[in-house]
Structure 1
Amino acid sequence: MRDSTRTFSLYACIVATGLLVACGPSARQNPGGGDDDDDGSSTCPRCSEDKFAVIDCEGNAVQCPPEQACNAGKCMNACEAAEKNHSSVGCDYIAVDMDAADGPPRDACFTVFVANTSPGQVHINVEWNGLQLNLAQYAKLPTGQGQSLGYAPYDPVLGLAPGKVAILFLAYAPAGGPLMGNVTCPVPAAIGTDAQIAGNGFGKAFRITTDLPVVAYQMLPYGGGRAAATGASLLIPTSAWGTNYIAVSAYDPPPGAQPPIQFATGPSYNIVAKEDDTHVTMRPNQAIIGGGGLMAGTANQPYSFTLQKNQYAQITQANGLSGSPISADKPIGVFGGHQIMSIDRCCGDHGEQMLTPVKALGSEYIAAPHADRRAAGEPRIYRIYGAVDETNLEYDPPGVGPPKVNQGAMVEIRTAAPFRVRSQGDTHPFAMFTYMSGAGDMGEGGQGDADFVRLVPPKQFLYHYVFFTDPTYPFTTLTVVRKTKNGVFEDVTLDCLAGPVTGWQPVGTDGEFEIAFVKTVDHFQGMNGCNNGVRTMDSKGQFGVWVWGWGSEDTNTGWVSYGYPAGEGVLPINDVVILSEHPEDAIFGHNRPHSAAPTTPLAPVEPSAPWLAPPWSPFDR
């Protein structure tokens, strides 16, 4: 049941100031994306960077048993430790087959990659609509690379070996649209048309659980160059979910803008629950059209619905809702995407990213783009979304972008060089994304296509990453950012390289951050001993990693790309809460009407407390 005292106190805080503020104690300082003993301090005993050993006061490492991991300087059940460590490593994930345009993405091959980051065999379970999926049939182990890629069987009894990846073929409907047809799965998939819904409505998500920690990613559609319009996302485990978010889609086109291609379609948003009777409220900055069991909603007024376990609500419409606050009384997962987005030039690509809660947003980011796709280079595109009014933006180098962003507002920045941006502190967090523009017309190379990737704040950087790069793509690059530790840049290692990562360039002028781009695959050929598949990166200092893959015209895989953060911490690093709820919730709880699938919502009632009647000026901006 909702804590109405907390809701009313927050409302009173906002009314007293007339602005959105951070209520409560100062933000927790807990770097490293894990428990508070992994930051390189002298605290002992402490956990190793990979969380699988305890380091005593003499610096000796004692390995945890295979079924355990470290938290707070001691070994414990590995899944329990992962839950406490608040990172992208976990044992419980929910994947959503997001909305996609008619043609390659719609009802196409939907997959989830599960990478075993643990030292023991991992056993995977997948549930959909109350059904346990037969993973002996629908999970495969990738073998080989590129055009020689094969699929070995997965043994549910034996499980997934350490450092290996299983591809879960979850959904595919053998029906193509009128534009370019569909993208089939190379092996049978578990579910047909019911896994994906078109437009607004309620749908059923896939619940993926493991007995040891893993990292998981979803991709729609799977298939590399054959896919033509792919989006992918790092999945955030349910243990790191929150109750307060900012909605951000893949790319909301500027008002009145004409997309470069005619069949570019709408931004989409998915909100999913892990528990029954999860009450969600959104304050949309545009009117919600409604449909599929979701009621229509008025702009800048609270909009509510209820979700059951493993159920999601999907909103897809031409008028984007990015910047709108979302809150819930139980933890939720939130995705932002686009059916087919088109940025600047031909052509278009599906997009999707899972978002982190407001409490995990940073007040500082490094603009870390994809590597150059072509020799001439190109300006990079970034968008910043504000969480708090009067958020001042300071850039290094200076003058890169606008000096300020307000709550719910967006600023777009285009520049060729990486940069650093920060606000006045943890009371003013913001979200930041980077984009890939379209690849251009036939004959221009077809390198990649429109895409977007969420940037990770340096406070959520990790020391250790295990991640997966898709072997069906001819080009794979890693964007790597490191920060100084005690005034020194620590080496960053990639398991397939003979030595540490090289080619570092400074970001800005203050000497605190450096960036490097590592090409691991070029025209399906591995580079410097590397290739696609499971990769591991480590350092004694915190660093961030982003995976990018794309196709090209000369490999017959043009106009397609994907990207995601390789991993991250999802620690609470600020105390900001963006109120999206109706003020009467503080008094009446959930007796107010709201959408609840599959029933039609009741008609609105008149407020019984006249001082809470519309327009509720604290929110009417």
Structure 2
Amino acid sequence: MSLTSRSSLLLVGLALTLSTACGDDTTGTESTAGTTDSATTDTTAGTSNATTMDSTTNTSTDPSGTESDTMGSTSDPSTDPTDPSTDPTDPTTDSTDPTTDSTDPTTDSTDPTTDPTTDTDPTTDTDTETDTEGLIAEIPETCMEAENTTGTVGCVFYAVDMDAHDLAETLQYAISIANVQLNQDANVVIEQKVGNTWQPVAGPAVVGALNLQTFPLPDKHTDDSQFAPGNAYRITADVPVIAYQFNPIDGQSSFLSDASMLYPVPALDTVNDVVAWTSMMDNTNTFQHSYATVVAAKDGTTVTVTPSVATAAGNGVPAGQPGVPFDIQMNEGDVLSVAVQSLGTSMTGTRFESNDDHPISLFAGQECALIPADTCCCDHMQEQLSGVRLWGKNFIAARQPVRNPAAPENVLWQVYSAGDDNTIQFTADPGVVGLPGNMVNLNKGDHLEFYVTGPANEPGDFWIQSDKAIAVVNYMTGSENISPGNTTGDPAAAQTPPLEQFLPRYVVLVPGTWVNDVAVVTRMAGATVTIDGVPINDADFNPVAASDWEVARVSIPDGVHVLDGADDPFGVVIVGYDQWDSYAYVGGVGTEIINPVIE
């Protein structure tokens, strides 16, 4: 399934080509810093110190403790993106398992030949109600209910083929639709805009109850700062579903993939703040941008962008300056991408605000990220972020999977404050190291970056409580953060949902092109969570401090799976990784407005 052996010279040559393109630090990649000094973070297990960044500066953290200069120009991609060579066909089975051979990304990329296979339809039948006070546990059964309830289960979504490394940005983009209904089929169509008219590009297709279907789609990727009219995909279903995007769907041949859960239109917000990773150079001397992408859900949308750093000009996008707003007029399905101007800066803290009753989708991205900034290897990252009104105050920070069980490698966390004078408390079991202290006070726009790990029996999960709303994002680190020469996994991003937004049931896709796939499950102590009707073993769960919550990281096979908590809401993140690649996405989340006051 993946390039896990170096016994073949051909495979070694391909792997070395990609590791070079993705930032193998053996050639001396420098990490970069912003225009002001900030504390450094030591990524060695057990010695991590947090970096606090305020809203007036945006500086990168160099975990090696070295400092380098900021470059003030961007380099244009050298590739000329082309559409896939095959037209998408309507899927007729419930999941898609790409079966492509690995190809050299330095040559013309080709689309995976998708051979859908049918997955067994799980027969789990559970109650969707909950008596858990303060937690969301609602799966709407009709589109009208979905309009008036809170969750990432919905009937209309917008997806976007996001900017990635030049070697991978034309590879096979795909959308997966999960039908979480117990006994209703979902009729699904995916459309693209031709002129001012939406036209089907995949479907109509029937997705069975408690099943999932994947739709390979034509290349429509964005690039750097760009305004692209009608460039989004629109997903419509006749019963509530959950939607995900994979970019690309085949991690084996690209080494440069990630995935994201999509928010339905009723869950979108008009106030959106970016939390993202920094920009940097890879070892091909190519500028890998930190950027943000928005999609308009309605005609007549005015998007006001207030950059936190200097942003690059592009087609239809002016150059931006910190704290100086600019407006972009958008219609339904239009795509706006804004990228940083300079190395060592990120889009974190940039606000995208739209006019009343005209919500937008916000995605944070990095073309190819090194985490830590001087550690091989780079990987594409993307995540659709929830609007600020959906941010919470109570989180179980369940780390991404441990790739080195004997000595767990550390993972990166970002915590971003939505309000001033925000006291944030961190609680962990003995042995967990790298937290920024028990109490930290942040103002609006401030954020923390810190690396956390622990021993094998306490690998780095912790509890976060705050006075005001925060966003929490977790990142897998580069393969050589485990040890020099290691090739297992690379950076991937997932926004951690607050406890208030957990759901009782998820239908998820585990793609067939990654060797290691893990479900990171967070449950209330003593609750039962099943995967395809089989309970997760209680012994797999580890309590998190004194929170009454516990976390398990369990291997999960390729295919479509139903995770069910019966009466109890729980959280799930799906993560896959193999040689020099990884993906991560949240299985679903509630969308109750728990932060109604925006500062």
The two structures have a TM-score, normalised by structure 1, of 0.68
Match of 1:99 in 2: 163
1:320 to 346, 371, 378: 346
* Contact 2:518/2:556 (8 A) holds in 1: yes
Shift of 1:326: 2.3
In 1, the alpha carbon distance for the partners of 2:518 and 2:215 equals 24
The DSSP-based 3-state class of the residue aligned with 1:289 is coil
In 2, the alpha carbon distance for the partners of 1:112 and 1:502 equals 35
Match of 2:221 in 1: 196
In 1, the alpha carbon distance for the partners of 2:562 and 2:486 equals 28
Shift of 1:164: 2.3
Match of 2:464 in 1: 421
In 2, the alpha carbon distance for the partners of 1:532 and 1:310 equals 30
Shift of 1:207: 0.5
C-alpha distance 48-260 of structure 1, shift in aligned 2 (>3 A): closer
Match of 2:190 in 1: 126
C-alpha distance 534-504 of structure 1, shift in aligned 2 (>3 A): closer
Match of 1:497 in 2: 534
C-alpha distance 107-42 of structure 1, shift in aligned 2 (>3 A): closer
Match of 1:84 in 2: 148
* Contact 2:397/2:462 (8 A) holds in 1: yes
Q: Which runs of 4+ in 1 moved over 3 A?
A: 47-52, 257-264, 441-445, 498-502
Shift of 1:397: 2.9
Which runs of 5 or more structure 2 residues have no equivalent in the other structure? 1-54, 56-127, 454-459
Return the letter of the residue paired with 1:429.
Answer: A
Shift of 1:481: 1.1
In 2, the alpha carbon distance for the partners of 1:42 and 1:294 equals 46
Give per-residue Cα distances to partners, 1:525-572, cap 9 Å, x unaligned.
xxxxxx432333224222111110011xxxxxx111000111110110
In 1, the alpha carbon distance for the partners of 2:589 and 2:402 equals 24
* Contact 2:187/2:239 (8 A) holds in 1: yes
The DSSP-based 3-state class of the residue aligned with 1:542 is coil
* Contact 2:137/2:502 (8 A) holds in 1: no
Return the letter of the residue paired with 1:297.
Answer: G
1:259-408 aligned within 5 A: 262-263=285-286, 265-317=288-340, 318=342, 319-329=345-355, 330-344=358-372, 345-375=375-405, 376-397=407-428, 400-401=435-436, 403-408=440-445
In 2, the alpha carbon distance for the partners of 1:297 and 1:475 equals 41
The DSSP-based 3-state class of the residue aligned with 1:198 is coil
C-alpha distance 126-259 of structure 1, shift in aligned 2 (>3 A): closer
The DSSP-based 3-state class of the residue aligned with 2:480 is coil
Return the letter of the residue paired with 2:216.
Answer: F
In 1, the alpha carbon distance for the partners of 2:542 and 2:469 equals 26
Match of 2:505 in 1: 464
Note if 1:163 corresponds to 2:189: no
Between the two proteins, the alignment pairs up a number of residues equal to 446
1:439 to 463, 474, 479: 479
In 1, the alpha carbon distance for the partners of 2:477 and 2:462 equals 19
The DSSP-based 3-state class of the residue aligned with 1:202 is strand
1:111 to 153, 159, 174: 174
Shift of 1:103: 0.6
Shift of 1:264: 5.6
The DSSP-based 3-state class of the residue aligned with 1:81 is helix
C-alpha distance 247-359 of structure 1, shift in aligned 2 (>3 A): same
* Contact 1:358/1:576 (8 A) holds in 2: no
Return the letter of the residue paired with 2:555.
Answer: K
The DSSP-based 3-state class of the residue aligned with 1:462 is coil
Return the letter of the residue paired with 1:495.
Answer: D
* Contact 1:165/1:468 (8 A) holds in 2: yes
Return the letter of the residue paired with 1:350.
Answer: H
Return the letter of the residue paired with 2:384.
Answer: M
Match of 1:507 in 2: 544
C-alpha distance 42-341 of structure 1, shift in aligned 2 (>3 A): closer
The DSSP-based 3-state class of the residue aligned with 2:167 is coil
In 1, the alpha carbon distance for the partners of 2:466 and 2:508 equals 30
In 2, the alpha carbon distance for the partners of 1:490 and 1:89 equals 23
In 1, the alpha carbon distance for the partners of 2:570 and 2:395 equals 12
C-alpha distance 515-260 of structure 1, shift in aligned 2 (>3 A): farther
C-alpha distance 323-121 of structure 1, shift in aligned 2 (>3 A): same
Query: Of the two, which has the highest radius of gyration?
Result: 1
The two structures have a TM-score, normalised by structure 2, of 0.70
Shift of 1:502: 3.7
Shift of 1:361: 0.1
The DSSP-based 3-state class of the residue aligned with 1:429 is strand
* Contact 1:271/1:334 (8 A) holds in 2: yes
* Contact 2:138/2:151 (8 A) holds in 1: no
Return the letter of the residue paired with 2:394.
Answer: E
Q: How high is the sequence identity, in percent, across the aligned residues?
A: 26
In 1, the alpha carbon distance for the partners of 2:376 and 2:404 equals 16
Return the letter of the residue paired with 1:450.
Answer: P
C-alpha distance 48-411 of structure 1, shift in aligned 2 (>3 A): closer
* Contact 2:311/2:339 (8 A) holds in 1: no
Give per-residue Cα distances to partners, 1:146-187, cap 9 Å, x unaligned.
xxxxxxxxxx46x22222222111123xxxxxxxxxxxxxxx
Match of 1:430 in 2: 470
* Contact 2:165/2:256 (8 A) holds in 1: no
In 1, the alpha carbon distance for the partners of 2:581 and 2:310 equals 32
Give per-residue Cα distances to partners, 1:506-529, cap 9 Å, x unaligned.
112x242211111124xxxxxxxx
Give per-residue Cα distances to partners, 1:319-339, cap 9 Å, x unaligned.
322112221111111000111
In 1, the alpha carbon distance for the partners of 2:316 and 2:138 equals 45
The DSSP-based 3-state class of the residue aligned with 1:340 is strand
C-alpha distance 573-293 of structure 1, shift in aligned 2 (>3 A): same
* Contact 1:99/1:316 (8 A) holds in 2: no
C-alpha distance 409-261 of structure 1, shift in aligned 2 (>3 A): farther
The DSSP-based 3-state class of the residue aligned with 1:115 is strand
C-alpha distance 331-48 of structure 1, shift in aligned 2 (>3 A): closer
Give per-residue Cα distances to partners, 1:33-54, cap 9 Å, x unaligned.
xxxx9541799xxx995647xx
In 2, the alpha carbon distance for the partners of 1:349 and 1:463 equals 32
In 1, the alpha carbon distance for the partners of 2:201 and 2:281 equals 46
Return the letter of the residue paired with 1:116.
Answer: N
Shift of 1:573: 0.6
- Segment of structure 1 superposing worse, 87-96 or 160-169: 160-169
* Contact 2:497/2:589 (8 A) holds in 1: yes
In 2, the alpha carbon distance for the partners of 1:41 and 1:511 equals 15
Match of 1:570 in 2: 591
- When the two chains are superposed, the root-mean-square deviation of aligned CA atoms in Å is 2.6
Give per-residue Cα distances to partners, 1:557-603, cap 9 Å, x unaligned.
x111000111110110122214xxxxxxxxxxxxxxxxxxxxxxxxx
In 1, the alpha carbon distance for the partners of 2:465 and 2:380 equals 30
